[in-house]
Amino acid sequence: MEKRDPFKYFKTSREIIRLAVMLYVRFPLSLRNVEDLLHERGIDVTHEAVRYWWHRFGPMFAAEIKKHRIAGMKSSRWRWHLDEVFVKINGERHYLWRAVDHEGEVLESFVTKSRDKKAALKFLKKAMRKHGRPEVIVTDKLRSYGAALKEIGAADRQETSRWLNNRAENSHLPFRRRERAMLRFRRMRSLQKFASVHASVYNLFNQERSLSSRQNFKRNRAAALAEWRGLCTA
């Protein structure tokens, strides 16, 4: 069966759409910032067009990135770092749970209204269903993690220490910068959608440049950009 072209009925070229979505999701820019940057390149689009493209193609790009990466992430079952941050939606506190592997790859993002045992259990089951069970699970001292891990028979894999979970805490920073640029979220569903898309795009372009030489960094960056430009090809 021939694969349907998702860009078929759009007047704007697929290259411009991919560029606009990448700028908006990857960098801490507003919709109007992206509009201005594209205008400087001679591309006349409105910020509402950028909003529509991100809603339409963002999840599609993220799903394709995740499908390619999950197949080659066997080492991610070694050590996971779990952490949660609060995000306000219309003045009400919600929690964004995130699982990060030992290399900083964001494995899963999940939004809940509470951070009790039920929420932690749902988050863990969702992550393990997609990525399998890790050998070690690093968490903070929130009791919900211990109760949830005990229920699924993985309490012996949990590790907690004051500085042991810095990998997960540092991984929140790009999302926090992005959240400020978006002036927070208005719905729980939009937060879940953006967190999932942002995680996949971050994984693709995050090169840990401080740990690699300049030549390797340039090579990996070019490969990531080439993969992005090939997403959702007909």
Query: Tens of pLDDT along 135-184?
Result: 999 998 899 999 999 999 999 999 998 788 888 888 888 888 888 888 77
3-state secondary structure at position 232 = coil
Q: What's the predicted TM-score (pTM) here?
A: 0.87
Question: Cα–chain-centroid distance for residue 99?
Answer: 10
Q: Quick one: pLDDT band at residue 72, thresholds 50, 70, 90? A: low
- How many Cα neighbours within 13 Å face the side chain of 233? 6
- How many Cα neighbours within 13 Å face the side chain of 218? 3
Report the share of the chain in percent with pLDDT over 70.
97
- pLDDT at position 75 is 56
| Rounded (to 5) percent helix, strand, coil in the chain | 55, 15, 30
Strand order through the sheet with 79-89: 106-112, 92-101, 79-89, 136-139, 158-160
- pLDDT at position 184 is 78
Question: Cα–chain-centroid distance for residue 143?
Answer: 25
**Torsion region of 107: left, alpha or beta (phi above 0 gives left; psi -120 to 50 gives alpha):** alpha
d(CA 200, CA 91): 27
Task: Pull the structure tokens for residue 135.
Answer: 């050998």
Average pLDDT value for residue range 110-130: 93
Average pLDDT value for residue range 18-30: 93
Short-list 219, 154, 198, 181, CA closest to 61: 198
Q: Quick one: pLDDT band at residue 49, thresholds 50, 70, 90? A: very high
- pLDDT at position 171 is 84
* Identity of the residue numbered 28: P
Task: Pull the structure tokens for residue 170.
Answer: 């540092």
d(CA 222, CA 200): 17
Short-list 51, 52, 48, CA closest to 9: 52
Can you tell me which residue has the tokens 């900083």?
104
